[in-house]
Structure 1
Amino acid sequence: MPDFVSDKPTAGLLAGRRVLVTGAARGLGLAFATAIAEAGGRVAMADILAERVNESAAALQARGLDVVPFQLDLNDPASVQACAAAAIEALGGLDGLVNNGAVTDSGGRDLTALDVPTWDRVMNVNVRGTWLMTAACTPALRASGRGAVINLASDTPLWGAPNLLAYVASKGAIIAMTRSLARELGDASVTVNAVAPGLTLVEATEYVPQHRHDLYRNQRAIPREQVPDDVCGAVLFALSDLARFVTGQTLAVNGGFVMH
Structure 2
Amino acid sequence: MSLDGRHILVTGAASGLGEVIARSLAAKGARLILADIAEEEGRATADSLGAAFVRVDLGDPDSIRACGEAVARLTAGKLHGLINNGAIATGIGGIPYDEIELESWDLVQRVNVRGTWLMVRAMAPLLKASGSGRVVNMASDTALWGAPRLMSYVASKGAVIAMTRSLARELGPDRIGVTAVAPGILTTESTDYVPEARHRQYSEGRAVPGAQSPQDITDVVAFLVEEGALTLTGQVLPVNNGFVFA
TM-score (ref. length: structure 2): 0.97
User: What RMSD, in angstroms, separates the aligned Cα atoms of the two structures?
Assistant: 0.8
The equivalent position to 2:25 in structure 1, one of 27, 33, 36, is 36
1:57-105 deviations in Å (ceiling 9; x for gaps): 12223xxxxx111111001100011112102211222111000000010
Q: What residue number does 1:98 align with?
A: 83
Verify: 1:16 aligned to 2:10, yes or no.
Answer: no
1:134-186 deviations in Å (ceiling 9; x for gaps): 00001111111100000000000111100100000000000000000000000
Verify: 1:88 aligned to 2:77, yes or no.
Answer: no
In the alignment, is the contact (CA less than 8 A) between 1:23 and 1:46 conserved in 2? yes
Q: What residue number does 1:55 align with?
A: 44
| C-alpha distance in structure 2 between counterparts of 1:238 and 1:59, whole Å | 24
| Superposition deviation, residue 35 in structure 1 | 1.1
Aligned residue for 1:253, secondary structure, equals: coil
| Amino acid of the structure 2 residue aligned with 1:35 | S
| Superposition deviation, residue 189 in structure 1 | 0.5
Aligned residue for 1:245, secondary structure, equals: helix
Q: What residue number does 1:112 align with?
A: 98
Verify: 1:194 aligned to 2:180, yes or no.
Answer: yes
| Superposition deviation, residue 226 in structure 1 | 0.6
- Structure 2: state its 5+ residue gaps: none
Q: What residue number does 2:62 align with?
A: 78
Aligned residue for 2:232, secondary structure, equals: coil
1:203-232 deviations in Å (ceiling 9; x for gaps): 211110111110000010111111111000
| Amino acid of the structure 1 residue aligned with 2:68 | A
Runs of 4+ displaced beyond 4 Å: none
Aligned residue for 1:192, secondary structure, equals: strand
Aligned residue for 2:8, secondary structure, equals: strand
Aligned residue for 1:86, secondary structure, equals: helix
| C-alpha distance in structure 2 between counterparts of 1:184 and 1:27, whole Å | 31
| Superposition deviation, residue 244 in structure 1 | 2.2
**Identity of aligned pairs, percent?**
49
Verify: 1:139 aligned to 2:120, yes or no.
Answer: no
In the alignment, is the contact (CA less than 8 A) between 1:42 and 1:91 conserved in 2? no
Matched residue count:
244
| Superposition deviation, residue 112 in structure 1 | 1.1
| C-alpha distance in structure 1 between counterparts of 2:190 and 2:183, whole Å | 13
1:188-213 deviations in Å (ceiling 9; x for gaps): 10000000001001121111011111
Q: What residue number does 1:245 align with?
A: 231
| Superposition deviation, residue 122 in structure 1 | 0.2
| Amino acid of the structure 1 residue aligned with 2:81 | G
